[in-house]
Structure 1
Amino acid sequence: MFLSNKKLVTTFFIFLSFVSISAQEILEQKESIVVEHKKIVVQGRIVCLPIYPKNYNYLPENEISDDLLVENMEEFTTNWDNQQFNPYWGEQLTFPFQLEFQDEDFSSPVDGNMVVTSRYGWRRGRPHQGIDIDLHIGDSVKSILDGKIRYVGYHGGHGNTVVVRHHNGLETVYAHLSQILVKENEDIKKGQTIGKGGVTGNARGSHLHLEVRYKGKSINPEYLFEFTSDNKVRSDVLFVTKKWATPRYHKSTRKSNIVLHKTIEDIAKIEEEQQKIYTVRKGDTLSRIANKYGLAIAEICKTNALRSSSVLKIGQQIIIN
């Protein structure tokens, strides 16, 4: 005997309600069984995976897929190159970009107190793209986070250099080493010794030159990490603007004022910040630029480490505060 259309529709909706309630009960049951959550990085983003009690099958039998065990490590493996210091050469990076960390703290790259002797910023008319940390020749140099050795070799002014790529795509550079203790493609742990301090390359006295890079672009390390006794990662989520990846916005002789961008709303003023860089044109003088922006010549000179008698070059960039 066939059901009427009305009865058939009613029966169908009752069935859907039963399925919905059952699914909800299963989800609630699963949630109550979760022991804790583990953070992993997938495509540069942090994902929290539930951890269930031992021997507990959180999926019906025969439905557990090996795909659940596979992490998408695109950020980690893109442009993997053991020969080039910067495998991203020539590629453009769009600002702002987001970084996520699964660690709340990092390992000190040196034993004892970290003494920063030179910071990220403009130094002696050139960009200093990392920070210098004091050490003695032969002191241990350690990776600040878990990762994998991408580059090992002698690189120009850096001297003996190790580049470690981390799971969010970030890379850390350890330069001026006297000895290298790791090999290419080697997995390493946070705090693992990767070399010994030295003065190789263009170094004035023994120190560790530490850089932080993302897709070939240097970032002010102090924007991401607190180089204090706490060794804290500043935030699990950070947006990096052009300001924090441009040495001209900073001075190597003093610590920059750290203002974190944790959300996209925090960077609403990025366009205004970018307009503070003026490119010198034909006929420009310090006096003309100062009048244009209502500043004193002395103020511009102090910010840009210039003299009042300095001759400007076409294309030269001037910071306007």
Structure 2
Amino acid sequence: MFFIKRRHVSFIISFLSWFLFCIQGAFGQQNDSGTVVYYENLYIEGKTFYLPVFQEKNQNSKEGGSISDKHFVDFSSNWNNKTFNPYRGENISFPFQLNFDTQKFASPISRKMVVTSRYGWRRGRPHRGIDIDLRTGDSVRSILDGKVRYARYHGGHGKTVIVRHNNGLETVYAHLSKFLVKENDEVKKGQVIAKGGITGNARGSHLHLEVRYHGKSINPEYLFEFTDETEIRSNVVFVTRKWTTPHYHRSTRKSNIIVHTSEEDIALLQEQQKKVYTVKQGDTLYRIANTHGLPISEICKINSIRKNSVLRVGQQIIISAAQ
């Protein structure tokens, strides 16, 4: 085992940056081994590096032009069958990159998908997934290939199955009435894993579906189109803090979906959407934040002011919609 002194970390980071730049410059998208199909995330001192993973030239692909079928995840990392969130306390740098090796997902239910409650703020509390209508006893299916990490009762979720997928995502299927898989089972996209129900804190039978990455919930509709087409929005997606924070969304309406496929388009969109608000008589930080769908803390951070700051009529406040 090697122990690295803290003063050496900056040197290691600089070396990794140079090394990865050389790899990506030399190989581009192809080398003698094949095509770059995935970048494994490496976190060091709050910085993110992307290690290229290559597809062999003679390796068969699926779905015509989609990325390799190989597993990109070490399923033993933070693998815990007894804990709902084994990543508790882990910090993630934003934005982070997700890669999908398919263009479609399987519907989690057999009937037409009807979303009855969305990701976002609901009755004064965060709703970290979406609710899809079903009847007790309906089949519930895994939306992607993966491995069952958790299959047991969990508080308000009731009977719950969690499947970890090849790109590091985990999908949570809650309020179930019956398990049809057990922990550590490998499952295929579209495979029936449970029966729907009303266990836990549920108001009527429905499927509560969450999408998580290293413990962080992500608005499922940012990644997946829950329509008859069941399309994944992009093979490469960058996830920003907005899409992992329920406060930025409302459970009663679908958020405006703008998918980021590079860090550059995130920066461009943030600049385009930045605007200035002029304080009027009777305005408060709470009123301004609520009108623009932003938390007060976000406005305070952008403008370097405190929550108890006194606003002046005519004062200009920078309002930048979170991305």
Task: Confirm or deny that 1:51 pairs with 2:93.
Answer: no
CA distance, structure 1, for counterparts of residue 36 and residue 191 of structure 2: 21
Report deviation, 1:78. Answer: 1.6
Distance 1:76 1:99, change over 3 A: farther
Q: 2:270–2:320: 8 Å Cα contact kept in structure 1? A: no
Q: Tell me, what secondary structure is at the counterpart of 1:51?
A: coil
Q: 2:248–2:294: 8 Å Cα contact kept in structure 1? A: no
Residue of structure 1 equivalent to 2:214 = 215
Report deviation, 1:88. Answer: 0.3
Distance 1:272 1:178, change over 3 A: farther
Larger radius of gyration: 1
Correspondences of 1:226-241 after superposition (within 5 Å): 226-241=225-240
Distance 1:242 1:303, change over 3 A: closer
* Identity percentage of aligned residues: 58
Q: Tell me, what secondary structure is at the counterpart of 2:284?
A: helix
Residue of structure 2 equivalent to 1:246 = 245
Report deviation, 1:113. Answer: 0.8
Distance 1:197 1:303, change over 3 A: same
CA distance, structure 1, for counterparts of residue 189 and residue 199 of structure 2: 24
- Structure 2: give runs of 5+ residues left out of the alignment: 1-29, 42-51, 61-69, 276-281, 296-306, 309-318
CA distance, structure 1, for counterparts of residue 177 and residue 222 of structure 2: 28
Distance 1:76 1:274, change over 3 A: farther
Report deviation, 1:77. Answer: 3.2
Residue of structure 2 equivalent to 1:168 = 167
Q: Tell me, what secondary structure is at the counterpart of 1:205?
A: coil
Q: 2:211–2:219: 8 Å Cα contact kept in structure 1? A: yes
Q: Tell me, what secondary structure is at the counterpart of 1:238?
A: strand
Q: CA RMSD in A?
A: 3.5
**One-letter amino acid matched to 1:288:** T
Q: 1:111–1:140: 8 Å Cα contact kept in structure 2? A: yes
Q: Which has the higher helix share?
A: 1
**One-letter amino acid matched to 1:84:** T
Alignment length (residue pairs): 246
After superposition, the C-alpha distances for 1:182-219 in whole angstroms (9 at most, x for unaligned) are 00000000000000000000000000000000000000
Q: 1:108–1:231: 8 Å Cα contact kept in structure 2? A: yes
**One-letter amino acid matched to 2:250:** K
Report deviation, 1:112. Answer: 1.8
Report deviation, 1:123. Answer: 0.4
CA distance, structure 2, for counterparts of residue 51 and residue 244 of structure 1: 37
Distance 1:145 1:151, change over 3 A: same
**One-letter amino acid matched to 2:214:** K
CA distance, structure 1, for counterparts of residue 129 and residue 272 of structure 2: 21
Report deviation, 1:299. Answer: 7.8
Residue of structure 2 equivalent to 1:300 = 290
CA distance, structure 2, for counterparts of residue 52 and residue 149 of structure 1: 26
Q: 1:157–1:201: 8 Å Cα contact kept in structure 2? A: yes
Report deviation, 1:39. Answer: 9.2
Distance 1:263 1:298, change over 3 A: closer
Correspondences of 1:113-262 after superposition (within 5 Å): 113-262=112-261
After superposition, the C-alpha distances for 1:107-162 in whole angstroms (9 at most, x for unaligned) are 00000210000000000000000000000000000000000000111111100000
- Structure 1: give runs of 5+ residues left out of the alignment: 1-26, 32-36, 54-70, 277-285, 291-296, 306-313
Q: 2:273–2:320: 8 Å Cα contact kept in structure 1? A: no
Task: Confirm or deny that 1:289 pairs with 2:288.
Answer: no
- Normalised TM-score (structure 1): 0.68
CA distance, structure 1, for counterparts of residue 272 and residue 88 of structure 2: 26
CA distance, structure 2, for counterparts of residue 154 and residue 91 of structure 1: 24
CA distance, structure 2, for counterparts of residue 255 and residue 242 of structure 1: 17
Q: 1:211–1:218: 8 Å Cα contact kept in structure 2? A: yes
**One-letter amino acid matched to 2:93:** T
- Normalised TM-score (structure 2): 0.68
**One-letter amino acid matched to 1:130:** G
Distance 1:189 1:52, change over 3 A: closer
Structure 1 stretches of 4+ moved >2 Å: 37-49, 71-77, 269-276, 297-305
Distance 1:202 1:269, change over 3 A: farther
Report deviation, 1:93. Answer: 1.1
**One-letter amino acid matched to 2:106:** S
**One-letter amino acid matched to 1:49:** E
Distance 1:40 1:177, change over 3 A: farther
Q: Which has the higher strand share?
A: 2
Q: 2:137–2:196: 8 Å Cα contact kept in structure 1? A: yes
